[in-house]
Structure 1
């Protein structure tokens, strides 16, 4: 397809997207401090912001409504609003991937919800067809940014670089999905104000202990208006691995637009759909991940809410991630146009790409079960390494029970002593490797393979093998170079 023809098609689509876009209200300075929010001379602006979160947010949070604990079906596209979504891949019925079990819960019924990937043929967005209430998934969360050295460094570098580019002294940085505060804590030495927003109350407490004030609530337009009323507009809004978790992206984008200063920027990261399709990384599909983005649907989504995608970068983390930078406006940059042209040329938003992925996924399922059965028949002992959400998907979709994989180890203390949802492998600390003496480790947390193989050098030195859930040219053995 020629560049001019592609541009014409996108222009028509985006013109429709932008219909009804409300004009942005004038930028607001921080409102006069209401009672109980002491922006006085005795405190720094950062201290005052922290005080508001700590003492005065309870009344606002009390007005928020919890959602019922049942799933519902999504029939329209989250990015462009079109109907007629078509199914691209079904993984059957799954328990929530992070709903780890205690021993006392093993004999109780587990909730299961449909898990299928659907395609919007208008904009190329891939998304789940069923939504599990976020209250069930995110109020207590078991992924901690600080648990991975490489990811801590990655997010800290992102915030530092973006702050240098967009945030003046005294400016405000807001991170949506701030987790345990690792990223914002890295920038606090600068003369800026920081504020985290994360619905997981268990990790919001950890962030507060780092000195990062964190609102333990879901980010919405209503919350954005409350923050803007108290603290003013933000020069930088960061959202890493967040947009894919949210059903009502329209509400979130309205909130981001409300918060951004006229010269502010949104910097976000999302797993890239291109890598999911190319590598058939089906285990990145689970109930928390509602959307799987290419650049084209991102442009649709952002343009509908007065946000212009200016820059896209690729990073080989989490199985393939794109980082986007957006500002107030509509349209997209020439660099973004090149990404879209490449996606269209590859047929990324078409049914045949998803049909091919589904064939790869099914073949991988049978291949992994067969390989584990071969190792068991040969007398080899295999245990799982890592208890991430993707591990739950692999074990349940491939029907790998304790007969093929008797246990899983994980370095996160909060997971140890629990059991994998659905398949019920016990989760033990890494010290169990020495006691169990396995012949091979199945890296369920394969996105941290380099870090894990370095950490388990002693296991490798005595001849231990590493397996991954995804075959490379038909083989599940991970090639490692001894150090």
Structure 2
């Protein structure tokens, strides 16, 4: 048995009462590293996904995850800021944080800042200074400013000297195979600054379970946090959680916290845990049925001579195309992000094209990967004069 297959200890509460409830199969280890040719894409490295459920705290994680298989470089492309809908979300979130915590002329640190879009927004809207850490940062993607500094590296103890009035971590914690150690490292860096605010955003596993959003499951995500498991994790790592809520139409969890003098109680809510166990069991029963239903639907579309594309060349699209193994039934993935266009989906090999391509290709069916973008996509499709049927994956 390899070392990845032996990961059966919960990363949140350290319990070994973990049971595998969904064997998702093999998927590209990098959903957001795209390829220059179809041949390269088809040769992308794959990894196993076997989701485990902790019977003590309710945390969900990939028991087959191997952190050594993940390499974050400048080729990693996960920016959502080309979407007007997402831009509105990011701007409203930035304004909310700035106004709530009086972040004007303050110091902001962002761990896992990507290409720097959100940190630049926080700087612009509040005249703040910023330092961003990310191994995937690309200097040519951001305008130069004296107020914001980017460090192309993963955050670690060596950067503890950087202090901030707010520390941001958005869509990062789920990638880390030792999340408690990461938070403890961050806590040491904060030191005695009890006024520092920590803001953490992660995908909401309850949305995945509740909506049977199986395309949210990707290899890069080691952890799948619920409000209960992330709250317990932060408390045990030395933080006092002051706010925790769903955002982005329920798809994200947003947590706000401050440093606590010492780790806090990590007791579980038994009534919630028993309820969530039933939800997870229901998801387990329905998972393979949804995959099969989509295979049948795509075969039916192809049998009638109709063309179909997916809209969304990010992680959901990669998950969808690889899980269904439908080579030949779908040739293109549409994405509004120009840095993805002309590249190829890892594992399945579809070419990523711009929305304008559809004016020529004229698909009969567009399969939308994320329902949050339905209005945006519908508007673009109608502007092109297309009468394509839009389905939600």
Structure 1 CA distance, aligned partners of 2:240 and 2:43? 46
The aligned counterpart of 1:195 is: 131
TM superposition shift of 1:314: 1.7
Does residue 1:249 correspond to 2:179, yes or no?
yes
Q: Deviations over 1:340-397 (max 9, x none)?
A: 687336x21x2x4323112222111111111111122222211222211111111111
TM superposition shift of 1:177: 1.8
Structure 1 CA distance, aligned partners of 2:223 and 2:186? 18
Does residue 1:465 correspond to 2:389, yes or no?
yes
Q: Deviations over 1:108-140 (max 9, x none)?
A: 743211112111111110011113437524553
Q: 1:314 to 1:213 in 2, by over 3 A?
A: same
TM superposition shift of 1:170: 4.5
The aligned counterpart of 1:181 is: 116
Q: 1:340 to 1:274 in 2, by over 3 A?
A: farther
Check whether the contact 2:236–2:264 (CA below 8 A) recurs between aligned residues.
no
The aligned counterpart of 1:113 is: 47
Question: Aligned ranges for residues 209-248 of structure 1 at < 5 Å?
Answer: 209=144, 212-220=148-156, 222-227=157-162, 233-248=163-178
The aligned counterpart of 1:301 is: 233
When the two chains are superposed, the root-mean-square deviation of aligned CA atoms in Å is 2.7
Bigger relative contact order, structure 1 or 2 (CA pairs below 8 A, ≥6 apart): 2
Structure 2 CA distance, aligned partners of 1:210 and 1:284? 35
Does residue 1:152 correspond to 2:81, yes or no?
no
Q: Deviations over 1:173-221 (max 9, x none)?
A: 111222222222223243532111112033x54246466311111122x
Check whether the contact 2:60–2:224 (CA below 8 A) recurs between aligned residues.
yes
TM superposition shift of 1:274: 1.4
Check whether the contact 2:322–2:347 (CA below 8 A) recurs between aligned residues.
yes
Check whether the contact 2:115–2:136 (CA below 8 A) recurs between aligned residues.
no
**Which shows bigger deviation, 183-192 or 353-362?**
183-192
Question: Aligned ranges for residues 384-399 of structure 1 at < 5 Å?
Answer: 384-399=310-325
Q: Structure 1: any 5+ residue segments left out of the alignment?
A: 1-69, 228-232, 470-483
Match of 1:83 among 16, 24, 27: 16
Question: Aligned ranges for residues 323-334 of structure 1 at < 5 Å?
Answer: 323-329=254-260, 331=264
Moved over 4 A (4+): 70-73, 167-170, 339-342
Match of 1:423 among 337, 345, 348: 348
Does residue 1:103 correspond to 2:37, yes or no?
yes
Check whether the contact 1:78–1:248 (CA below 8 A) recurs between aligned residues.
yes
Structure 1 CA distance, aligned partners of 2:55 and 2:194? 34
Does residue 1:264 correspond to 2:196, yes or no?
yes
Q: Deviations over 1:135-163 (max 9, x none)?
A: 52455311114222222232233233223
Question: Aligned ranges for residues 23-62 of structure 1 at < 5 Å?
Answer: none
SS in 1 for 2:161: helix
Does residue 1:382 correspond to 2:311, yes or no?
no
SS in 2 for 1:408: strand
SS in 2 for 1:234: coil
Q: 1:145 to 1:426 in 2, by over 3 A?
A: closer
Structure 1 CA distance, aligned partners of 2:223 and 2:4? 16
TM-score w.r.t. the length of structure 2 is 0.88
Match of 1:455 among 380, 388, 393: 380
Q: Structure 2: any 5+ residue segments left out of the alignment?
A: none
**How many pairs does the alignment contain?**
383
Match of 1:409 among 319, 326, 334: 334
Structure 1 CA distance, aligned partners of 2:75 and 2:188? 28
TM superposition shift of 1:439: 0.9
SS in 1 for 2:33: coil
Does residue 1:133 correspond to 2:59, yes or no?
no
